[in-house]
Amino acid sequence: MPGAALNALQATLPAGTTALEPLYLRRSGAALLIDFSTGEPAVLHFGADLGPDLPDLSLLGSPVAPSSLDIPVTLGLIPQGSSGWRGRPGLRGHRDGQAFSARLRAVSATVEEGGTASAAVITQADDDAGITVRTELRINDGGLVQLRHTLTNDGYGNYSLEELALTLPVGRPATEILDLTGRWCRESHPQRLPLRQGTWVRSGRHGRTGHDASLLLAAGTANFGNRHGQVWAVHLGWSGNHESFVDTIGDGRTVLGASELLGPAEVTLEPGGTYETPWLFAAFSDAGLDGISAAFYAWFRARPHHPGVRSGKPRPVVLNVWEAVYFDHRLPILLELAESAAALGVERYVLDDGWFRHRRNDQAGLGDWYVDEGLWPDGLAPLIDAVTAHGMEFGLWVEPEMINEDSDLARAHPDWISGPARPDDSTGRLPERWRNQQVLDLVNPDAWQYIYDRLDDLLSTNRISYLKWDQNRDLTEMGHDGAASVHAQTLAVYRLLDELRKAHPGVEIESCSSGGARVDLGILERTDRVWGSDCNDALERQTIQRWTGMVVPPELVGSHIGPTTSHTTARTHELSFRAITALFGHFGMEWDLRQLNDGERKELAAAIALYKDRRGLLHSGRMVRADEPDPSLLLHGVVSPDGSEALFALVSVATSFSEVPGQVALPGLTPETNYRVELVYPAAGQGHTFTQVAPPAWVSSGIEASGRFLAEAGLPMPVLNPEHGVLLSVRAVTPPGTASPEAAGKRG
């Protein structure tokens, strides 16, 4: 079938006919092919672009196996038992036990082209079950696919929805699964397993995304890596309970999918009622995981509300005072910190936990969002005025979704605490405490309005440019009026953020959740960055940031230099290692800057200046992660979109089995461009970074080589002590795509 005919498609299924024309969506090297010949949308292909022309799809029907259904089994956009699918169903619901097996069939399909995405809308219906499902599909510039369903109850009586999943097929070459897991202060760590027949399910029942959430669920070819192999990957943009899964059935077909994990009776649709799934984001790459990241980064950076795009300014250097003062909020100390920060070049000063009523420790006060008159007799104005007079923005920590039982709010409104108890339950049973706190029931409109009013007042009466929005516990036994309410609570939080951003469009918001327990594209549509982890240990952060960055670009991941000895691990690291780690994110500090010695102050000021000089590159370029064969070494970097410059970090995370690193490749540069490579940090003799008698010859004065040479042959690298790193600057000396005659002669 000619591609032009498919691309021009805009069809509605006439009465009495059984099929629509196929849908073929293509953009940025990715493609989706959907066939309607069986009456339902069958996803024939998700992956690489298939070119402009397709064969006769009617000849591609599967064979019929012995002792099976008498017709080929269709893998629909919503997999259904009514079509013979014996894997995980895409829809589970019923009407008081009836209408349990839907038979959705296509009613219409519309393709739209132009603008920023190739998009389609498919509508399916089952008149007997009384339901309609509308599916939106998009392929964005950069190749990231978006998929979302909306189910409507068209029948009489209520429809109880248990699950509505979003699935896409995986190519047959995939033989491995990769996902992420973790815990507090150790988020986003990878795990691999073979892809076998059956279902691999990751369930998140935290009421938030979770420290152990699989930010990315991927399937790929054997031993796929950062720069090689075919990879299919998905992410669910949802901040509540969820499941992601890989499902391989007996006929060999595999799907990747995800869904909101609904509690008992959380979604019961009255006649005319609708349920909209979160967006599923999916990507395909034939160049390893870096290709997956490229698709996600392109989508993020094309958003009109993306930080930098929305504000028109670079990501500011941050000082958060938590690990400097904790709950010790004495104004003279905070003013000294502001003066020290400004002298170093800090651009945003954030006052953390402890500023509001009754908050002398973490056991009381949550919910009492009034400036503590005992600590701040003149309000926050003296500190804010000093901070802004130094040319810095002022930020404030809040935790609006939580409540301490020891608070004025809890004493006045105990019924605003979420839990399993019914309104008529005299026991008032509450969930077990977590960090001495409970969850505020934002499904209650009065509680929601109270929080909105308090935050709106704080932002209206103070010059606050930034909120660090924390959420420090799982939502165990999350209930409203005795019924499960994670779904409704998540939507209430989204609405709270949306309304505050609408009222205060100039305020940036960070999503922190005990560190990295709420990192997903649902919360990132409403916030300006995430806190990757409460752990500022640079060694731990190397892994946390590397894998969080598979989906989230560095300008959205807060990354701070902590004290010399880590608050969470008690490890001690030199400043250069901590700074090099923090550079590859939204850079900042959590450190008592008053205590720096002269050498530390000079080095930190230089690191801040380096970040300011290179943040345009770091927050716009292509992320490159080398497939380094020595497990003791990590190499990652950012290459500018035009290939004219790059910044690489080589990090030693352990002792090596080799005496010297050997020739380390710098991938991702333009092959025919000549570059100058220089070691820019740390300087020679700075700290105990190196363990060598003499460095490689090029280190003292730099070296020129082509992008092809650097990627294929590489450079000899210094011998690093464990838990140290070096920063390499790479700049083009010939225009991208043009090699000097001398370089061409050397290659010949």
The radius of gyration of the chain from alpha carbons, rounded to an integer in Å, stands at 27
Check if 470 is active-site. Answer: yes
Q: Going edge to edge, which strands form the sheet with 633-639?
A: 622-625, 633-639, 645-652, 724-732, 674-681, 703-706
Cβ count near 433 (within 10 Å): 12
Cα pseudo-dihedral 665, 670, 671, 677, rounded to 10 = -50
DSSP 643-703: SSEEEEEEEE-S--SSSS--EE---SS-TT-EEEEEEEESPTTSTT-B--SS--GGGGT-E
Pick the closest to residue 395 from 531, 545, 220, 552 (CA basis): 531
Pick the closest to residue 145 from 237, 214, 248 (CA basis): 237
Which two tokens mark 57?
């799809």
Sign of the alpha-carbon dihedral angle for 358, 359, 365, 369: positive
**What does the H/E/C string look like for 506-521?**
CCEEEECECCECCCCC
Q: Which helix (H) or strand (E) holds 318?
A: strand 318-320
Single out the catalytic residue among 35, 470, 474, 537. Answer: 470
Single out the catalytic residue among 126, 474, 534, 537. Answer: 534
Pairing between β-strand 348-351 and β-strand 393-398 as defined by DSSP bridges: parallel
Q: Which residues pair with 283 in a beta bridge?
A: 233
677 Cβ contact list (under 8 Å, min separation 6):
666, 698, 702, 703, 704, 705, 710, 715, 728, 729, 730
Buried b (16+ CB within 10 A) or exposed e, 371-404: bbeebbeeebeebbebbeebebbbbbbbbbbbbb
Question: Which amino acid type is present at position 515?
Answer: G
Which two tokens mark 367?
């919910």
Backbone phi, then psi, for 59, in 5-degree steps? -90, 0
Which two tokens mark 747?
């290659």
**Could you give the angle at the alpha carbon of 401 between the alpha carbons of 395 and 405, nearest 5°?**
110
Residues catalogued as catalytic:
470, 534
